[in-house]
Amino acid sequence: MSSDIVKIIPLGGLGEIGRNMMVLEHGDDIIVIDAGVSFVGPEFPGIDFAIPDISYLVENKTKIRAILITHGHEDHIGALPFILPQLRCPVYAPRLAHGLITSKLKERRATRDSVVNPIDPGVVHQIGKNLEVSWFRVCHSIPDAMGIAIGTPLGTVIHTGDFKIDHTPVDGRIFDLPSLAHYGDDGVLLLCSDSTYAEVPGYTTSERVVGESLDRAIRDATGRVLVATFASLVSRVQQVVDAAVKYGRHVSIVGRSMVDTVKVAQELGYLDIPPGVLRPLAEIRRLAPDKVVLMTTGSQGEPTSALVRIAKQEHRDVAIESGDTVIISATPIPGNELPVSRTIDNLLRQGATVLYDRIATVHVHGHASQEELKLVLRLVRPKYFVPVHGEYRHLTAHAQLAWDLDLAKEGIFVMEDGDVLEIVEDQASLVERLPSGHVYVDGLRLWDVRSPVLRERKRLATDGFVVAVIPLDNESGELLGDPEIVTNGFIELEDSTDLIDHAVTLLSEALRKDEASLFEEGYITSRCKEILGPLFQRETGRRPFIVSL
């Protein structure tokens, strides 16, 4: 048996949507494919998003040779500002992703000196001692999306990244199927392929269809048009701009992330916007409504996004007007259905006409459906197959496709984050499981899921808090009177006077009894929790967060 071993370790993106990260390890060389974020629900108050747990990479950072990027979506590049200060390794990315990453890293002092190398498809890069890496073009909902081929001593590993097969893409750059077939003819050790829409039969609709629908919507609108989509969906921005130019409208961008993306895409030539079409919001407000198109973020109902604030009538510069048409050019990511529905309802209440995916073809998926996935499997004909990118049911559905095609006969592995697939010369097997939990980003801070801060926030969000104000003489340590109890988010004080009075009596008696100990560090807070916690839980069934002053 050969001493060569290739390990495949997903640290994010398997069994979930987003937070994509895959590790390939051979000998003393580690390469990482993508480093993305995922968005979290209201069960994590104050959290911006989640990134992968990179503790395994930190432990082995002397082996890390590079991070390889497939494309510029946040669920593939968003974690880079948070992990690069710990890993200090070069990044290789397609040119649009390179521009977006460079702009993102410049915003943080700790990542300004990071090395990000632009790549072109078909160019081979020697990374580490025995790994040869090249990219091949695929279609997705952002320009310059790529798959990656990694040559190892045991054979070629293909990672498709996110893809669909679009024969009429907006930018004219089609999926490089010939290269994929060439790899298949030479023999592929392992295929890791996008599974996001593996449950969907048939073929994914071309982006061209969306362009036609956007054209009609903007043509028929009598007032302003607001288009909400992903900040990084550059092809959609181009389609909106093309329609705006055709019907004599000017465009303004609302939302910082989209402003930054449009700026980078223009500079790199991925957006063609005629002079004078893109106007600042202050200027566009002076134009007639039928001459205006606003592009915004917020297609996923994100609480702080431009569209959500507009829908809630909380945006500083934009308010819905009678006659506005709002186009939500996206499909809700699983888990975001409720906030998206609320946003649509709020817009409708204010008199806007709202077009979204259920009633108009204003969005198509950026991921391959079953027939496209089958085509890739047939072209590559891998020895082993690992479905990637998707919830567990998506991975299972993709595995079933390979099974039905009688492909990857040596092994089809439905993995989850943290699983370690070990491939040797004549076999592959799952050998262990590594830490792969979520790390939560709160501004510039990172919190582990076990952090007491997160637990405390959940308690505050569900049970409220109680503050016990203790009047204490700073010199003698004597109580100067009865404590005062203040609550927030716990109970209605006017309906609970007897309970609060009883709590004050119990606490006052206990503190007076232990007056000699009141100056001991932490004693008062501890005693307040001992007295008030059981009382409130018994009388209300809730456990508020208790502090003392």
pLDDT of residue 468: 83
What average pLDDT does this structure show over 28-33? 97
Q: Is the pLDDT of residue 266 over 90?
A: yes
Q: What is the pLDDT of residues 471-524, one digit of tens each?
A: 877 776 677 778 888 877 777 766 677 888 888 888 888 877 776 666 676 777
Q: Is the pLDDT of residue 444 over 70?
A: no
Q: What is the pLDDT of residues 103-113, one digit of tens each?
A: 989 888 888 88
Q: Is the pLDDT of residue 42 over 60?
A: no
Cα–Cα distance measured from residue 391 to residue 273, given in angstroms and rounded to the nearest whole number? 37
Whole-number percent of the chain with pLDDT over 70: 91
Between helix 497-513 and helix 523-540 the angle, nearest 10°, is 150
The set of residues, in sequence order, having a beta carbon less than 8 Å from that of 288 and lying 6+ positions away, is none
Read off the pLDDT band of 463 (50, 70, 90). low
Beta-strand runs (E) in 350-496: 353-355, 384-388, 411-412, 419-423, 428-433, 438-442, 445-448, 465-469, 484-488
pLDDT of residue 450: 61
Cβ atoms of 416 and 392 closer than 8 Å? yes
Question: What type of residue sits at position 512?
Answer: R
Neighbours of 159 (CB within 10 A): 25
Q: Which residues belong to the active site?
A: 194, 367
Q: Is the pLDDT of residue 116 over 60?
A: yes
pLDDT of residue 496: 76
What tokens does 393 get? 């049911």
Question: What type of residue sits at position 520?
Answer: E
pLDDT of residue 193: 98
Cα–Cα distance measured from residue 72 to residue 97, given in angstroms and rounded to the nearest whole number? 4
Cβ atoms of 464 and 490 closer than 8 Å? yes
pLDDT of residue 445: 60
Q: What is the pLDDT of residues 384-423, one digit of tens each?
A: 999 999 999 999 999 999 999 999 999 999 999 999 999 9
Q: Is the pLDDT of residue 1 over 50?
A: no
Closest CA to 254 of 276, 219, 225: 225
What tokens does 287 get? 């134009």
What average pLDDT does this structure show over 206-211? 86
Read off the pLDDT band of 53 (50, 70, 90). very high
What tokens does 485 get? 């109890």
Cβ atoms of 181 and 382 closer than 8 Å? no
Q: What is the DSSP letter of 333?
A: P
Q: Is the pLDDT of residue 82 over 80?
A: yes
The predicted model scores a pTM of 0.82
Q: Is the pLDDT of residue 443 over 70?
A: no
Cβ atoms of 468 and 528 closer than 8 Å? yes
Cβ atoms of 146 and 135 closer than 8 Å? yes
Q: What is the pLDDT of residues 150-188, one digit of tens each?
A: 999 999 999 999 999 999 888 889 999 999 999 999 999
> How buried is 461 (Cβ within 10 angstroms: 0-12 exposed, 13-18 middle, 19+ buried)?
middle
Cα–Cα distance measured from residue 437 to residue 84, given in angstroms and rounded to the nearest whole number? 18
Q: What is the pLDDT of residues 379-390, one digit of tens each?
A: 999 999 999 999
Cβ atoms of 273 and 237 closer than 8 Å? no
3-state secondary structure 442-459: ECCEEEECCCHHHHHHHH
Between helix 370-380 and helix 392-404 the angle, nearest 10°, is 60
Cα–Cα distance measured from residue 119 to residue 401, given in angstroms and rounded to the nearest whole number? 32
3-class SS of residue 173: coil
Mean pLDDT across the chain, nearest whole number?
A: 88
pLDDT of residue 433: 92
Neighbours of 101 (CB within 10 A): 26
What tokens does 151 get? 């040559």
Q: What is the pLDDT of residues 215-256, one digit of tens each?
A: 999 999 999 999 998 888 888 899 999 999 999 999 999 988
pLDDT of residue 530: 84
pLDDT of residue 2: 46
- Whole-Å CA distances, 332 to 66, 357, 404: 33, 9, 30
Determine how β-strand 545-548 pairs with β-strand 465-469.
parallel
What is the CA 466 to chain-centroid distance, rounded?
A: 35
End-to-end, the C-alpha distance of the chain in Å comes to 68
Cα–Cα distance measured from residue 156 to residue 16, given in angstroms and rounded to the nearest whole number? 26
Q: What is the pLDDT of residues 274-316, one digit of tens each?
A: 999 999 998 998 999 999 999 998 888 887 789 999 999 999 8
Read off the pLDDT band of 442 (50, 70, 90). low
